[in-house]
Structure 1
């Protein structure tokens, strides 16, 4: 993995920090740097990478793919879901070489759907590749995969999503933007407090995923019939509360840990 300069980290973080309404609490960083929490941190990070791919896949299946293509898309994720949720399969056989937007018939797609297709296929491939990389690190450290419960974070955002279209899609895209931005902010927060190799890995993820939140916002603005600023601010306030308020479950996106 390549070394990335502190000035480049600052440059990548500038739009992310400007978008987020709060920084990660120091109490979360203090908990994350504890050696005994590394296994659960990596495990939850692994699952978050898969969930990010699943969220992007949902958007493609719901808004872009026809019925036949939708079935093909389900096959993309099945080996990863089998391993993660059903403990089936060999993690070393997982790869993203078979993922291609060529399975889509792009004729007749409007510009918005074509843009969503381009952005989400790239995001899915990157998230699944990062899933595999986290697994490699876990096994190098001697951590067998064992599933963990989810944090409150994503559901805490998604329960504010409106139920009618296109507002439902707009809100889901904005939620995706906040989840991606917070992930990148935490990569940067973690990097100085873990091993050099793991720190370089987290910074490489920051470089790779820094644009994801902007991709989601671009799509939200393109499909919304009105300016999205009000909804962005609304979800920003919700996300801030989830990050800053006390949380009794320590996870990659959890809030401020409750003192023991």
Structure 2
């Protein structure tokens, strides 16, 4: 096991791994997976932009997430290249039931810092699950080009996860963040247990 894999396994802490059947279905729906993935990268960039616009007074957050916006958009362009080189069509966005469920768990009210922390933790969780899915694709796809593609994205998404967690601990008491993070992880497990296994969705 490489040091990168070891580090990612230690830090993701997801309570429920992806059902092994997902990758089998995803391999049969590769065009749909790539299109959905492209929209996920778009949404990731948009989410960072939204945080910067909504919470501009948090200087450290603005400075950390500004380059992440550019990186997420580069990921979108990279996924689009994979779509085009295979002769696939882009298509319309799909409803992301996973993210919609997580949004229900965001605490309303509280201070500006409390609100920012909630969104940082939600984004951290989405990045962690994406990283796990990328690892599955890297390990199981037969297409060598896509294997290396998802390996690179896996490493990148792990870094984004760290950014969100560290930012939350910058603005809130780290122990309080850890307690709330455990609640997020437990809720995400419930969401994963309830979602239907779909090979046309990244999440």
Q: Above 0.5 in TM-score?
A: yes
C-alpha distance in 2 between matches for 1:125 and 1:152: 25
Q: Which residue of 1 aligns with 2:5?
A: 10
Closer/same/farther in 2, CA of residues 227 and 246 from structure 1, 3 Å limit: closer
Closer/same/farther in 2, CA of residues 22 and 248 from structure 1, 3 Å limit: closer
Deviation at 1:244? 2.9
Q: Which residue of 1 aligns with 2:45?
A: 53
**Runs of 4+, deviation exceeding 6 Å:** none
TM-score w.r.t. structure 1 length? Answer: 0.71
Bigger RCO (CA 8 Å, 6+ sep): 2
Task: Select which of 16, 22, 34 maps to 1:28.
Answer: 22
Task: Select which of 186, 206, 210 maps to 2:154.
Answer: 206
Q: Which residue of 2 aligns with 1:162?
A: 107
Query: Does structure 1 retain, via aligned residues, the 8 Å contact 2:15–2:189?
Result: yes
Deviation at 1:237? 1.0
- Counting only pairs closer than 5 Å after superposition, residues 90-105 of structure 1 correspond to structure 2 as none
The gaps in structure 1 that reach 5 residues or longer are: 1-5, 65-108, 254-260
Query: Does structure 1 retain, via aligned residues, the 8 Å contact 2:120–2:168?
Result: yes
Q: Which residue of 2 aligns with 1:175?
A: 122
What's the C-alpha RMSD, in Å, of the aligned pairs?
1.8
Residues 159-178 of structure 1 show CA distances to partners (whole Å, capped at 9, x for unaligned) of 11111223221111100110
Greater per-residue helix proportion = 2
Deviation at 1:114? 2.7
Q: Which residue of 1 aligns with 2:33?
A: 41
- Counting only pairs closer than 5 Å after superposition, residues 43-122 of structure 1 correspond to structure 2 as 43-64=35-56, 113-122=58-67
TM-score w.r.t. structure 2 length? Answer: 0.90
What is the number of residues matched between the two proteins? 198
Deviation at 1:214? 1.4
C-alpha distance in 1 between matches for 2:140 and 2:44: 25
The gaps in structure 2 that reach 5 residues or longer are: none
Deviation at 1:54? 0.7
